[in-house]
């Protein structure tokens, strides 16, 4: 996210607390904020979920249509992921074509879903080389208080798991649930003066030096990662974030069911 | 579809009478980051509005040294309709944004905040006909929630025509077979019309009846807007503070 202005007094406050091992909202370093997931929030979507992660609010919808496959994958359905940082959600978001932040967000979520093989794309083939199901995942940030990666990822996974393929409407037999094979979970942490904090709030993101998002599958294996921001991580820090993501991922996966 | 949208008892596809509104729910102050916000569920429409400002006007060349600008952006999200809508503004949403901006501009005391912009964002999360009216209704509440000085709130509703009859507040099924559609927005207190569009076919008599229905409905919607603000800002009874007695009066009695 564009480096928004941060008052010195807030910055100092975060640093001072961190030196005592504390966070502004009283959480421990590896504690996520309260998560709530409302499935099927939008009826016009084939699947949808609204996720609140603390005060971060993300709405994700899945639309499924028929279309032509890519020529290099003629027997597989198509997954397309898009994120919109709409100006309703933050004074620092602007309308217009997707900027680098929303593209990074969409691509990190896309990678987690794709690389974990969450969706069985081969089951979304109607006629090889001619017709397949196209699956559009659209993510909208409604209220922004940090850690969009994990809120959007939870939303995307919950929306996909609630999605029905509209076969009847398209004359392709009966509707069926989107074929799901796996429930990947992403966990994001930031490094601030060598402290590691999971699920950063907006204020914590603003003072963070580095960020790491780790997407794990049901076996705890790593399926995707993304390091962000200008600062660095030590190997020890990276390992600690990965291990913790595997542990936290198990708990978050239970929420999605 | 002639003669099918209204049954022999005068009831519509969803069981409403010709002059009956859909179920409307309004909530003020639903977003944390925005300066003001509102959420409206109107039948199957789901609409979110947020207000930022008054703040520095972008683009700069639009700055007006004598007043603030009210810049509204109406947007339908990709999965708000049955066929996925490509993200980004199209001609329809640009037009709707313009007429809503103009309606809101009239009620905001723009002269208080020269060179600034009051930005209003309307996001249609789920669409089922009448989204511009639901959007403007939500935007008015969001402006009030943001504490922007304004003359009044603007309720809005569409009146249409199906089976040769004027009906209030068309739903999606009716809209698909509608013979006319007329969204309006007014200030109920003064009767001023701030938004009016029409397409289709209406006689003068039909127009008069449509306006009668529309004005009546706007009164009701206005009440719902006020109720939403009261629910948001009502103060719990504080001990020692007498209810409903103005402060000056208390002092006099004391």
List pLDDT tens digits, range B1-59. 455 889 999 999 999 999 999 999 999 999 999 999 999 999 999 999 999 999 999 88
User: Does residue B44 form part of some domain?
Assistant: yes
Chain B segment 39-98 residues within 8 A of A by beta carbon are: 44, 46, 48-50, 52, 55, 73, 75, 77-84, 87-89
Q: What is the pLDDT of residue B1?
A: 44
Interface contact A42-B79, CB threshold 8 A = yes
**Does residue B253 lie in a domain region?**
no
Cβ pair B52:A91 closer than 8 A: yes
Cβ(B116)–Cβ(B66) below 8 Å? no
Given an 8 Å threshold on Cβ–Cβ distance, is B33 in contact with A89? yes
Q: Is A82 on the interface with B (CB under 8 A)?
A: yes
In a domain, A94, yes or no: yes
In a domain, A93, yes or no: yes
* Sheet containing A185-192, strands listed edge to edge, beginning at the edge strand earlier in sequence: A195-198, A185-192, A210-216, A222-228
Q: Which residues of B touch A136 (CB under 8 A)?
A: 78-79, 84
A202–chain B nearest CA distance, Å: 11
> Which residue range is the domain that position A189 belongs to?
25-256
pLDDT at A257: 76
For the stretch B142-182, pLDDT in tens is: 999 999 999 999 999 999 999 999 999 999 999 988 999 99
H or E element that contains B199: strand B199-200
Q: Do A42 and B83 touch (CB under 8 A)?
A: no
A163 touches chain B (CB under 8 A): no
Instruction: Give residues with Cβ within 8 angstroms of B90, minimum separation 6.
Output: none
Chain B residues closer than 8 Å to A59 by CB:
77, 125
Tell me, yes or no, whether A17 lies in a domain.
no
The verdict on residue B14 lying in a domain is no
How many folded domains does chain A comprise? Answer: 1
**pLDDT of A60-74, one tens digit each?**
999 999 999 999 999
Domain contains B16: no
d(CA A40, CA A10): 38
Q: Is the Cβ of A78 closer than 8 Å to some Cβ of chain B?
A: no
Residue B245 inside a domain? The answer is no
**A139 min Cα distance to partner chain B (Å):** 9
Is A8 inside a domain boundary? no
The candidate with the shortest Cα–Cα distance to A86, out of B236, B77, B143, is: B77
Of the partner residues A45, A90, A145, the one whose CB lies closest to the CB of residue B79: A45
Instruction: Mark yes or no for CB contact A89/B32 under 8 Å.
Output: no
Tens-digit pLDDT profile for residues B46-55: 999 999 999 9
Work out how many domains chain B is built from and give that number: 1
A170 shares contact with chain B (CB less than 8 Å): no
CATH number at residue B193: 3.30.230.70
Give, for B216, the enclosing helix (H) or strand (E): helix B204-233
In a domain, A6, yes or no: no
> What SS3 string covers chain A?
CCCCCCCHHHHHHHHHHHHCCCCCCCCCCCCCCCEEEEECCCCCCCEEEEEEECCEEEEEEEEEEEECCCCCCCCCCEEEEEEECCCCCCCCCCCCCCCHHHHHHHHHHHHHHHHCCCECHHHHEEECCCEEEEEEEEEEEEECCCCHHHHHHHHHHHHHHCCEECCHHHCCCCCEECCECCCCEEEEEEEECCEEEECCCHHHHHHCCEEEEEEECCCCCEEEEEEECCCCCCHHHHHHHHHHHHHHHHHHHHHHC
A140 near B CB under 8 A: yes
Q: Which residues in B lie closer than 8 A to residue A57 (C-beta atoms)?
A: 31
pLDDT at B59: 87
Look at residue A5 and tell me if it is in a domain.
no
pLDDT band per the 50, 70, 90 thresholds, residue B236: confident
Contact A44 B80 (CB under 8 A): yes
Confirm whether B215 is domain-assigned.
yes
Q: Is residue A177 part of a domain?
A: yes
Distance from the B243 Cα atom to the nearest Cα atom in chain A, whole angstroms? 34
pLDDT of residue B156: 98
Residue B59's domain comprises 24-232
* pLDDT tens for chain A, residues 1 to 257: 445 678 899 999 999 999 999 999 999 999 999 999 999 999 999 999 999 999 999 999 999 999 999 999 999 999 999 999 999 999 999 988 889 999 999 999 999 999 999 999 999 999 999 999 999 999 999 999 999 999 999 999 999 999 999 999 999 999 999 999 999 999 999 999 999 999 999 999 999 999 999 999 999 999 999 999 999 999 999 999 999 999 999 999 999 87
For Cα atoms A50, B176, B86, give the angle at the middle one, nearest 5 degrees: 45
Q: Please, what is the average pLDDT of chain A?
A: 95
How close A218 comes to chain B (CA, Å)?
29
Q: What is the CATH number of the domain that holds A133?
A: 3.30.230.70
Q: Is residue B241 in a domain?
A: no
Residue B191 falls inside a structural domain: yes
Classify residue B184 by burial, with Cβ atoms within 10 Å: 0-12, 13-18, 19+: buried
Q: Closest partner residue to A44 among B34, B82, B119, by Cβ? A: B82
Gap from A40 CA to chain B (nearest CA, Å): 11
């Amino acid at each position: 996210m564009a480096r928004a202005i941060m008052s010195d007094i807030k910055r100092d406050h975060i640093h001072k607390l961190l030196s005592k091992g504390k966070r502004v909202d009283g959480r421990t370093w590896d504690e996520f904020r309260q998560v709530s997931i409302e499935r099927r929030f939008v009826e016009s979507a084939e699947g949808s979920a609204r996720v609140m992660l603390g005060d971060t609010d993300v709405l994700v919808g899945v639309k499924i249509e028929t279309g032509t496959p890519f020529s290099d994958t003629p027997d597989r359905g198509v997954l397309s992921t898009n994120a919109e940082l709409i100006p309703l959600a933050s004074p620092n978001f602007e309308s217009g074509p997707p900027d680098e932040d929303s593209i990074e967000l969409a691509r990190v979520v896309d990678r987690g879903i794709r690389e974990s093989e969450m969706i069985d794309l081969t089951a979304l083939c109607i006629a090889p080389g001619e017709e397949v199901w196209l699956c559009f995942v659209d993510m909208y940030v409604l209220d922004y208080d940090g850690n969009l990666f994990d809120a959007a990822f939870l939303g995307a996974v919950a929306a996909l798991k609630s999605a029905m393929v509209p076969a009847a409407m398209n004359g392709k037999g009966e509707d069926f649930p989107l074929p799901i094979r796996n429930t990947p979970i992403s966990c994001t942490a930031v490094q601030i003066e060598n402290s590691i904090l999971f699920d950063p709030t907006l204020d914590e993101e603003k003072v963070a030096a580095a960020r790491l998002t780790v997407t794990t599958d049901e076996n705890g294996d790593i399926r995707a990662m993304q390091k962000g921001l200008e600062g660095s991580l030590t190997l020890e820090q990276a390992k600690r974030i990965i291990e913790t993501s595997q542990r936290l991922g198990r708990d978050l996966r239970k929420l999605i069911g | 579809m002639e003669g099918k949208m209204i049954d022999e008892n005068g009831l519509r596809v969803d069981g409403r009478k010709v002059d009956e509104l859909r179920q409307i729910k309004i909530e003020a102050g639903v977003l944390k980051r925005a300066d003001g916000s509102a959420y409206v569920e109107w039948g199957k429409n789901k609409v979110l509005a947020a207000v930022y400002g008054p703040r520095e006007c972008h683009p700069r060349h639009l700055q007006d040294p004598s007043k603030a600008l009210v810049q509204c952006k109406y947007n339908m999200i990709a999965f708000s309709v049955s066929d996925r809508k490509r993200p980004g503004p199209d001609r329809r949403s640009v037009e709707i944004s313009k007429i809503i901006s103009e309606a809101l501009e009239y009620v905001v005391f723009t002269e208080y905040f020269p060179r600034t912009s009051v930005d209003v964002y309307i996001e249609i999360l789920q669409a089922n006909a009448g989204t511009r009216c639901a959007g403007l209704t939500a935007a008015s509440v969001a402006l009030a929630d943001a504490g922007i000085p304004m003359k009044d709130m603007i309720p809005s509703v569409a009146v249409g025509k199906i089976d040769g009859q004027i009906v209030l507040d068309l739903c999606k099924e009716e809209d698909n077979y509608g013979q006319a559609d007329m969204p309006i927005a007014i200030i109920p207190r003064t009767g001023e019309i701030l938004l009016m569009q029409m397409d289709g076919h209406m006689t003068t008599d039909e127009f008069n009846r449509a306006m009668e229905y529309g004005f009546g409905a706007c009164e009701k919607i206005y009440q719902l807007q006020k109720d939403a603000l009261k629910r948001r800002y009502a103060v719990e009874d504080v001990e020692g503070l007498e209810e409903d007695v103005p402060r000056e009066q208390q002092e006099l009695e004391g």
